[in-house]
Amino acid sequence: MDESQPILQMTGIVKTFYVRNRLQRVPVRALDDVDVVLRRGKVLGIIGESGSGKSTLANIIMGLETPDAGTMLFDGAAVDLHAKRSSQRALRAIQVVFQDPYSSLNPRMRVKALLREPLRHERFDRSQDFVQRCVSLLEMVGLPASALEKYPHQFSGGQRQRIAIARALAMNPKVLVCDEAVSALDVSIQAQILALLIDLKERLGLSIVFIAHGLNAVERISDDVVVMNLGKVVEHGPAGVVLQNPATDYTKKLVEISRDIVPFTLVPGEGGVPPRTEVLAAISEAVRVVPASRRTWRRKKW
């Protein structure tokens, strides 16, 4: 195996959705000829405001959406993006962690059962091996063995996200896709989950696609960064270069806006909270990069 070969390579990905307005079905180009490379054992951050196509790309990587065009190479081999992924190796090797563990973890199942689900294809099931495997998965994400008998609601948001990560790890993935996985967490908890992901990357040699609309988390964790706007990649390169020295106005705005706003939300005591109008003005200024005609069709999510 060639270690320098990327673990994941998406080329020329196109995806159009059709959205109904009052009169007709209007095409929305969610992804427009997108090329993305995830290096082996590295973290690729994907940033861009809401509606820029980040989740659509993640869904295509995971086989949850089918693109109109484009190719995917996983570990050097072509993945058929139109075939049912269940028949393919890539399904198990690419696992996902979403923003809201409440919707991805069945509230009626104990952690033991939640971890059993992905392991049911393995021979461990119900045996001693199975319990040991669960305990080691929990240990990997920093939870005690006693967590096995508990239900999701008995944990904090950060702990629930750890369970979601353990569940993803149960499949021994090579790639972890985190779609806004820390976006709903408090900043201090966010930092702990980021530290966990960095640890897993190093210990397990995981490669990670880390999607977030907030730049701070992406900056902490990413080796490389992709910046997306309206379904197109506007920048792709080493994190330090893209975020410290952006080449496009769009990235400059994104960086500016996050630097402006985040300190206020982080430390409301210091210097006071800015008037709401000031924050909104900063946001609308940043959003002005987007042509108004395209903006109308984007769902607002954050």
Q: How far is the CB of 293 from ligand ADP (least distance, A)?
A: 13
- Interactions with ligand ADP, residue window 50-79 (CB under 6 A): 50-56
| Size of the residue set binding ligand ADP (CB under 6 A) | 16
Shortest-Cβ-distance residue relative to Mg ion: 55
Q: Which of 8, 13, 30, 61 binds ligand ADP (CB under 6 A)?
A: 30
Query: Which CB sits closer to ligand ADP, 183 or 192?
Result: 183
Query: Which CB sits closer to ligand ADP, 147 or 242?
Result: 242
How far apart CA 71 and CA 3 sit, in angstroms, is: 21
Q: How far is the CB of 59 from ligand ADP (least distance, A)?
A: 8
Q: Which of 7, 10, 13, 28 binds ligand ADP (CB under 6 A)?
A: 28
Q: How far is the CB of 182 from Mg ion (least distance, A)?
A: 13
Q: How far is the CB of 55 from ligand ADP (least distance, A)?
A: 3
Q: Of 80-88, 145-153, 161-169, 292-300, which segment contacts ligand ADP by CB under 6 A? A: 292-300
Q: How far is the CB of 276 from ligand ADP (least distance, A)?
A: 23
How far apart CA 165 and CA 177 sit, in angstroms, is: 10
What does the H/E/C string look like for the chain? CCCCCCCEEEEEEEEEEEEECCCCEEEEEEEEEEEEEECCCCEEEEECCCCCCHHHHHHHHCCCCCCCEEEEEECCEEECCCCCHHHCHHHHHEEEECCCHHHHCCCCCCHHHHHHHHHCCCCCCCCHHHHHHHHHHHHHCCCCHHHHHCCHHHCCHHHHHHHHHHHHHCCCCCEEEEECCCCCCCHHHHHHHHHHHHHHHHHHCCEEEEECCCHHHHHHHCCEEEEEECCEEEEEEEHHHHHHCCCCHHHHHHHHHHHHHHHHHHCCCCCCCCCHHHHHHHHHHHHCCCCHHHHCCCCCCC
Task: Identify what 53 binds: Mg ion, ligand ADP, none; CB under 5 to 8 Å per kind.
Answer: ligand ADP
Q: What would the two tokens of residue 174 be?
A: 């090579």
Per-residue contact flags (x/-) with ligand ADP for residues 34 to 53, judged by CB under 6 A? --------------x-xxxx
301 is a contact residue toward ligand ADP (CB under 6 A): yes
19 is a contact residue toward ligand ADP (CB under 6 A): yes
Query: Which CB sits closer to ligand ADP, 121 or 301?
Result: 301
Task: Identify what 299 binds: Mg ion, ligand ADP, none; CB under 5 to 8 Å per kind.
Answer: ligand ADP
Residues that bind ligand ADP (CB under 6 A): 17, 19, 28, 30, 48, 50-56, 297-299, 301
